[in-house]
Copies of this chain bind each other. A is one copy, B any other.
Amino acid sequence: MSKSDTSISINVKHAATVNETRIRVRYADTDQMGVVYHANHFIWFEVGRVELLRQFGFSYKDMEREDGCFIAVIDARCRYKAPVHYDDEVIVRTYLKHVREKVLRFGYELRRTESGELLAEGETTHIVANAQMKTRTLPEKYMRVFRAAVGKKNVEASS
């Protein structure tokens, strides 16, 4: 699940700025409509976000514990393009859309692994907070990497 699995045609530069993580749909994710319940997409976005950070060389766990940086969601949106079914394998593509000292915005695409079909698109906006949930600035070691990564979504590789 946590593998950053960059597909064959994607070059190194792409690999550094877009994370691709595979999720297997669980029975628990479905509802009685026979498809994935819509709140679960946001959980998958979170999985992708954490794996993108790991790909950047950071552990979100350590961001919290060692640097006292909490990435709290202030806005979340998802546009649902196609139903997702039990046992489907889904690729979560995550990239940084925007970064400022106290604000981060991530973008997401969910695609069916088998067909490449676009299942959903979304974005989440976060403020950087300390353990007391007050806003703070991101340490420079993160800013440097995040700034370099912003906007480097190779759109041509996404389909």
Contact = CB atoms under 8 A, between A and B. Distances in A.
A70 interface: yes
Interface string A99-121: 00000000000000000000000
Contact of A34 (B32, B39, B73): B32
A58 to B, nearest CB: 12
A87 B74 contact: no
Q: Please state the number of chain copies in the assembly.
A: 4
A159 to B, nearest CB: 21
Interface in A57-100: 59-61, 70, 72-80, 83, 86-87, 89
Interface residues of A, number: 41
A159 B89 CA distance: 30
Given A76-B78, A77-B77, 9 more contacts: A1-B23, A2-B89, A30-B32, A32-B86, A39-B40, A39-B42, A72-B83, A74-B80, A77-B78
Interface of A: 1-2, 22-24, 26-28, 30-35, 37-40, 42-43, 46-47, 50, 59-61, 70, 72-80, 83, 86-87, 89, 133
